[in-house]
Structure 1
Amino acid sequence: MYEQLFDLIDDFTKSKTGRLIKRKSLLDDLEASIQPSGKNFSVTFDWDRRIKGGKQLDVGQHYKKVELQFKDQSYILSELFLGTHSPPQFTGQTSFLYTKGYSFKKKFYYRLLIPLERELRYHYILGTRSSEINGDSLIFRIIQNDKKKYFLIIESEFKQSYDEFSEKTFALKNALGYLTGYLAGNGGYFFAYTKKKMEAPAHIYRCEFRNTIISGYAPLNSNPYSYLHSNKKLAKKYYDKKLLRTINQDEFSLLCQRLYDSVELSSAIILMLESSVASLLFMPGGYAIVLETLADIIKPKKKQKVAPMTKSLSKKVRQECSAVIEKYKNEFSKDNHQALLDRISWLNQATNKAKLRAPFDYLKIDLLEEDLDILQARNDFLHGRVPDMTKGGEVRSLDRQNKDLYYASVRFYTLLNILILKWIGYDNRVVNYPKINEAFTEIKLKEEPYRQI
């Protein structure tokens, strides 16, 4: 079924020679070769300035919609950037190319293939291979070709424009990335079909994606033996009582739909994935920023009351405080006097801890004291301090500081998962990474290795 597509993709990995066509341009009718170069393609050609009547090509020039013509096919390079020049040879770069005659606005039946760096496994995480977005049922699967290479394939039986399909696949790809810790990236191939059976593609569009992200973290896993290696008895209890389950189709569809609807949520998920592979200095801070973002997304329509005082009490307190400042105004410089008055105007502002807690309160998620401690530690990350999780003080060793940073990271990560999964209706258990890693962090916890949402 997919062998033809694998062959077409394989053909893109081979160096080929053709002819550049760009009317009324210095590039027109030049023999050129194209070959893969990282996530992009390199285009090389020779150019002799003496035959061009004094006109010159130069490094840094951009050319849009340049045709590269071969014997049996022509491709359009969306943009060709001339990067290097070693006379007489120029080398340019292009990231996006498609078959001649393809239209992004015309409606086709689409199939997307993304070559994977390694197998993307989701069997103990997802219990479905489809997602519904805006009424369109998208099917996804992981396929290995005869050359032992893996591909993520996403397709739809709904006829639509490129923008419509690509935005849906972007949401589904990000949802898979969040749930598995594996964000497929680098580049993908969109195959456009004129008929619903999708037997032979009419056009191909190859485009660049952000870099692949592969982390060692996933929010859930229905196989208890995956994490409880050293406690087979407890793992057997979870397994025999069927206490763990995967994400079902309705939950996955809701996650995809919300990612499709919200650029802010998509950005938060990407930051969450990037934080998962960042250094210990950046990991907890990245997660804290994600939580702040989610606090602005996961909220009731009616504004929550998170300020410490009512409006009437706040007004009274601010007036009395201002009166005290005015009484002693001669004791301050003019600038300091105004600074104090400005601070008083913010007296009723909600604390950062209250703001971060708000989405949990909204979803009726009970937080542990250890969770609240991490929310309070948010200010440490903001000011470049390492949170002191064991009260070791300034004499803490570097190893202890690193373990405190890691503990804070996995505590934040677990809280984010509880919040996101509860929001999409998942009512089972998430991996409790602080408990799973307590031997490493040396912070003993009276918690279960899988935490009920």
Structure 2
Amino acid sequence: MKIKAIKKDVGYAIDSIESLGKEKAYKVRLPDYPIDKKLAVSRKNLNGNIEICIYIEEPYKYPYMADWEKFGIYESFILENTNSIYSVGKGNRLNASIVASDPMTIKIEVESFQKGETSTFNDTHLRLVIPCTKKIEFNAFHANPHKINDTTYFNGLIKINLNNSQYHLYKYSNKDKNTNYLIIDSCQPEKLDSFKDITKSILLSYGFVTGNLYQDAYYYQVLSKDKTVLSTNTSYFKQEPSALSSANLFHPMDFKMYLKHFKKEYVLDKISAFLTENYFNKMVSKINSLPELSHCIKLMIEGNQSNLLLLRGGIYSIALETMTNIICDENEDKLNPISDKKLSKLLIEKFKLILDEYSPFISDYGTKVLNTKIDNINSPTNSKKLLKPFEILGIKLNKEEIKILNQRNKFLHGVSIDSNDEDLKYVTYKFLTLVNILILKYCGYNGHMADYGAMYQLRHQDKVTAHLFRII
């Protein structure tokens, strides 16, 4: 059955973004402050910040020159021109300077800038537009077709359902201008803060799957009631640099060819070669509900772009520790050596009685240390704790993978690691694979994924000790 393409209108959205950064003149509106009704000019500089110059003809001396805040430059104020108003938030200043020229010039630099009143961004349909430096890929996803102007993207829109609300994640490219955009629309009215929180989770999920977390600059926009044509309001927020490695978790076409080579195409009757919307939705939901998981995934994405193997190994080890703690905390009853809590408590009490008996022969420091060890007697060893999450999630590890997991401390503490050893590269890529497995399974995924350790062996070593793709 032919699926109808979802129509999207982005032309006015892109025009609004381009217009926001162009040089424009205004009149400042901030009653009871010297900058009120003064001429101002704004433009976006090469660093992605908005520069605002305010010109004051009257001479101001002490106490204004001794305390710039008296001018009102750190307050929220409005910039007006013939057609519209722009908002500058309170305290949002990277730099501020005053040039004692004629007229006197106050120059401020901000990381956020807004066309329209803040109130217009709440309880309405919203859109997030992110200009991207790379071509946006949806090859890993089983997505929907969408149409922008005369161009139909046959696999470029993902529907996300979260907390009884729906969102559309999709791409847009302008070949004539060589520009690319990643866009998220809300399909229902909501508040800007809520939209920011949810879009962050969507972008992290997309970044985890593709290896590319697009940031740099976020433009939040207000959609009109028909959800196609934009109103003029746009809110700009400069972000930290994008993290781009293209370390895809899935390679659907390669996976199909791999199965064909081994005459195992029947596997596709049970699992999809592409990441379905259902699994992507589960991932977004998990990330949105658990800040620790969100931080872990962001750490992984940023680690993927590093060329320093020891640094990458250390980052993956930290991520492994985070995932281990998340899963173990949720499954404490499966982790403790003694499952009976009453028995565990009884043993601790008896050990402490023995310690009390011999405490006169032990230093205060030694007594404190032993008390702590007795309190934690029903906790697993570090090596067992690292393996337990894989067991809990039903992930089978071979001897080589267990050996690699036990090298976590070497990465964290720099013990006996030769950074020139080719094996270090393999171990690092295998670490990446193992952490990816944990995250995917924790998010409820069942299917295939790339084994980066095996892929590294295929390209750079004489033997391949595992399949290039792993079904989890």
Q: TM-score range by the shorter chain?
A: 0.7 to 0.9
Equivalent in the alignment of 1:96 = 112
8 A Cα contact 1:18 1:68, kept in partner: yes
CA distance in 1, matches of 2:428, 2:49: 34
Percentage identity across paired residues of the two chains: 23
Q: How far is the alpha carbon of 1:417 from its aligned partner?
A: 1.8
Task: Write the deviation string for residues 17-71 of structure 1: whole angstroms up to 9, x where unpaired.
Answer: 2222222123223322211132321112344672467523757886232212222
Task: Describe the SS at the equivalent of 2:59.
Answer: helix
Q: Specify the code of the residue in structure 1 equivalent to 2:164.
A: G
Stretch deviating more after TM superposition (262-271 or 310-319): 310-319
Equivalent in the alignment of 2:64 = 55
Q: What is the TM-score with the length of structure 2 in the denominator?
A: 0.81
Gaps of 5+ in 1: 227-231, 388-395
Query: Does 1:10 pair with 2:22?
Result: no
Stretch deviating more after TM superposition (311-320 or 153-162): 311-320
CA distance in 1, matches of 2:414, 2:299: 19
Equivalent in the alignment of 1:292 = 321
Task: Describe the SS at the equivalent of 2:309.
Answer: coil
CA distance in 1, matches of 2:172, 2:264: 29
Query: Does 1:252 pair with 2:260?
Result: no
Q: Specify the code of the residue in structure 2 equivalent to 1:3.
A: G
Query: Does 1:265 pair with 2:304?
Result: no
Query: Does 1:39 pair with 2:48?
Result: yes
Q: Specify the code of the residue in structure 2 equivalent to 1:249.
A: E
8 A Cα contact 2:171 2:182, kept in partner: yes
Task: Describe the SS at the equivalent of 2:332.
Answer: coil
Task: Describe the SS at the equivalent of 1:98.
Answer: strand
Task: Describe the SS at the equivalent of 1:14.
Answer: coil
Q: From 77, 94, 102, give the equivalent of 1:66.
A: 77
Q: Specify the code of the residue in structure 2 equivalent to 1:255.
A: M
8 A Cα contact 1:44 1:92, kept in partner: yes
Gaps of 5+ in 2: 1-8, 145-157
Q: How far is the alpha carbon of 1:382 from its aligned partner?
A: 3.1
Q: Specify the code of the residue in structure 1 equivalent to 2:38.
A: L
Equivalent in the alignment of 2:37 = 29
Equivalent in the alignment of 2:386 = 356
Structure 1 segment 15-414 matched on structure 2, within 5 A: 15-37=23-45, 38-47=47-56, 50-51=59-60, 54-56=63-65, 63-79=74-90, 80-81=92-93, 82-88=95-101, 89-103=105-119, 106-127=122-143, 129-145=158-174, 146-201=176-231, 203-224=233-254, 236-237=261-262, 245-278=273-306, 279-298=308-327, 303-309=332-338, 312=343, 316=347, 319=350, 323=354, 330=361, 333-336=363-366, 338-387=368-417, 398-400=419-421, 403-414=422-433
Task: Describe the SS at the equivalent of 1:64.
Answer: coil
8 A Cα contact 1:171 1:256, kept in partner: yes
Task: Describe the SS at the equivalent of 1:63.
Answer: coil
Task: Write the deviation string for residues 379-398 of structure 1: whole angstroms up to 9, x where unpaired.
Answer: 223323255xxxxxxxx5x4
CA distance in 1, matches of 2:463, 2:360: 52
Q: How far is the alpha carbon of 1:353 from its aligned partner?
A: 2.4
Q: How far is the alpha carbon of 1:263 from its aligned partner?
A: 1.8
Task: Write the deviation string for residues 104-125 of structure 1: whole angstroms up to 9, x where unpaired.
Answer: 6731111221111111212134
CA distance in 1, matches of 2:277, 2:220: 25
Stretch deviating more after TM superposition (199-208 or 302-311): 302-311
